[in-house]
Amino acid sequence: MEQPSEIAVRDTPTWDRPIVLIPSFVLLSAIGGLFPSFSLPANLYVLAVGGTMLWLGLSGRLPRRPAPRRLDRAAAWWLLPALTLAAVELATFIGGSTYHSPTLSLLSDPVLESYLARAALYFGWLTAFWGLVRR
């Protein structure tokens, strides 16, 4: 039986709206961008933030978008970018992940050294994580 919309609205937490979430993610990203890679604070922070997202996503406390019950065969088109990415990553990894054969993470290292880029990518990671939580 379908849930009346009034109840569904009441069940949504008051903080679950863009005007609250976006500034929160900006703040979390601004803090996350401060911690350099390989540092203990960076590890603890990403574990805490990711762990909170995981808990929210598994708790079933938040409303979720309806997902399709089955996919059309045309979904196989997604194999094209997935296999391309996997092939390049595997080839560069087998090549030793060096300057001449860089993996994606090796290429991203110089970018992530900049605070602004690091904070912006942190924001993207968090926002996408939130999108997954609501799926």
Partner 1 sequence: MSVTRTLAITGFLVAFLLVAVVEVLARRERSKIPTLGELVGFVMRYEVGQLPVGRIAVFGFWWWVGWHFFAR
Query: Applying CB under 8 A, does 107 fall inside the site for partner 1?
Result: yes
Binding segment toward partner 1, per CB under 8 A, in 7-15, 18-26, 105-113: 105-113
- Helix, strand, or coil here: 101? coil
Quote the crossing angle between the two packed helices 104-112 and 79-94, to the nearest 10°. Answer: 90
CA distance 60 to 64: 8
How far from the centroid of its chain's Cα atoms is residue 50's Cα?
Answer: 9
- Shortest distance, CB of residue 23 to partner 1, whole angstroms? 20
Member of 50, 61, 113, 115 binding partner 1 (CB under 8 A):
50
What tokens appear for 22 in the block?
A: 């976006």
Residue (6 or 71) nearer to partner 1, CB: 71
Q: Is 132 exposed, middle or buried (0-12, 13-18, 19+ CB in 10 A)?
A: exposed
Query: Applying CB under 8 A, does 77 fall inside the site for partner 1?
Result: yes
- DSSP run (H or E) holding 19: helix 18-32
Count the site residues for partner 1 by CB under 8 A: 58
Residues that bind partner 1 (CB under 8 A): 32, 35, 37-39, 42-43, 45-47, 49-51, 53-54, 57-58, 65-75, 77-78, 80-81, 84-85, 87-88, 91-92, 95, 99-102, 104-105, 107-108, 112, 118, 121-122, 125, 128-129, 131-133, 135
